[in-house]
């Protein structure tokens, strides 16, 4: 019962902080009860990060100034709320569960949120509760620490959220409740039976990337080579002229039309024809030219000797 009262006090202190704020507002305004959200994020080693947050409405500048003073006291630990209460609860739960528990890494945070013209102030106390969950092989069970601390109900303005450990999924939950993305949620007012709330988590099989198959890699490389070769072939075909290839005669005529050295030199066409003829077969024009070149050359007599011979013949004719 002592631990139950301690936990109840811990939750109520956050609730009564707002009336102190409301007392500083105008008498005509009625303070709305702030909501308390307890969020428990479970880790794989059984530790849990708690975040207890209360929300306070801020209606005017007087409320804003009052919240600023309250937030300053809260951050300095002078607002009448400290982790000592939770340490007492953890000590009692440790005795009942035979697991050594402790409250560590305490942090105080405050904030003012303005959404659609509605301002609210938040006071958040966060800490790590070691060995909060029971870890057995690949199973993590949450619940015995709640039962050992006497946590058996939620009031109308309280909400409990429990987040799963990374890589774990919910195997069972009691009592049944809304679950969103693995987060279990209970809203007050409600009363829990003995051993509740309780959740059992099971490790989920990890999805690891498959190792690449060397055979598939080789096949993929071969396909890439074929694709590149085909692309190169099609590119070359696009760049080539689409008309028929020129005949040897057309090549010769084009050479003559261009005024090449063979067209300007006698026998150039014959030389081209010789180059086009198969080996061992020489064109007729070439053979005739060769025959002419092999004939003996007749020398032309001297012009003076010819004139002397003519004069002698003329003289003999006259004497006769």
pLDDT of residue 214: 57
pLDDT of residue 151: 83
pLDDT of residue 117: 81
The closest alpha carbon to 162, from 139, 150, 148, 146, belongs to 146
Strand spans (E) along the chain: 36-42, 48-58, 103-115, 118-129, 134-136, 139-142, 153-154, 158-163, 168-174, 178-180, 183-187, 190-191, 198-203
pLDDT of residue 222: 61
pLDDT of residue 245: 54
What are the residue ranges in the chain where pLDDT is below 70? Answer: 1-34, 206-320
Given a contact cutoff of 8 angstroms between Cβ atoms, the answer to whether 66 and 121 are in contact is: no
pLDDT tens digits along 185-206 = 999 999 999 889 999 999 998 6
Which residues fall within 8 angstroms of residue 69, CB to CB, at 6 or more apart? none
Which residues fall within 8 angstroms of residue 8, CB to CB, at 6 or more apart? none
pLDDT of residue 274: 46
pLDDT of residue 111: 95
pLDDT of residue 76: 87
Given a contact cutoff of 8 angstroms between Cβ atoms, the answer to whether 188 and 154 are in contact is: yes
């Amino acid at each position: 019962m002592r631990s139950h009262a301690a936990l109840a006090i811990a939750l109520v202190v956050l609730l009564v902080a707002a009336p102190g704020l409301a007392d500083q507002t105008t008498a005509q305004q009625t303070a709305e009860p702030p909501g308390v959200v307890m969020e428990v994020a479970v880790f794989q080693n059984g530790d849990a990060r708690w975040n207890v947050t209360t929300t306070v409405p801020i209606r005017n500048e007087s409320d804003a100034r009052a919240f600023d003073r309250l937030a300053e006291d809260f951050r300095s630990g002078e607002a009448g709320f400290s982790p000592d209460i939770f340490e007492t609860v953890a000590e009692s739960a440790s005795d009942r569960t035979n697991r050594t528990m402790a409250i560590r890494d305490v942090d105080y945070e405050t904030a003012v949120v303005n959404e659609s013209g509605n301002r609210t102030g938040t006071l958040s106390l966060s800490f790590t509760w070691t060995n909060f969950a029971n870890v057995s092989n690949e199973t993590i069970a949450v619940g015995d620490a709640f039962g050992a601390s006497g946590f058996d109900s939620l009031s109308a303005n309280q909400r409990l959220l429990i987040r799963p450990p990374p890589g774990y999924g919910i195997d069972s939950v009691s009592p049944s409740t809304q679950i969103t993305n693995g987060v279990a949620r209970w809203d007050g007012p409600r009363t829990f039976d003995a051993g509740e709330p309780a959740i059992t988590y099971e490790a989920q099989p990890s999805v690891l990337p498959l190792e690449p198959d060397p055979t598939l890699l080789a096949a993929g490389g071969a396909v890439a080579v074929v694709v590149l070769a085909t692309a190169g072939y099609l590119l070359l075909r696009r760049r080539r002229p689409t008309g028929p290839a020129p005949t040897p005669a057309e090549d010769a005529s084009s050479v003559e039309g261009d005024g090449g050295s063979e067209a300007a030199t006698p026998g150039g066409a014959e030389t081209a024809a010789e180059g086009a003829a198969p080996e061992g077969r020489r064109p007729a024009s070439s053979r005739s030219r060769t025959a002419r070149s092999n004939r003996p050359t007749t020398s032309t007599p001297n012009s003076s000797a010819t004139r002397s011979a003519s004069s002698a013949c003329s003289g003999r004719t006259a004497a006769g």
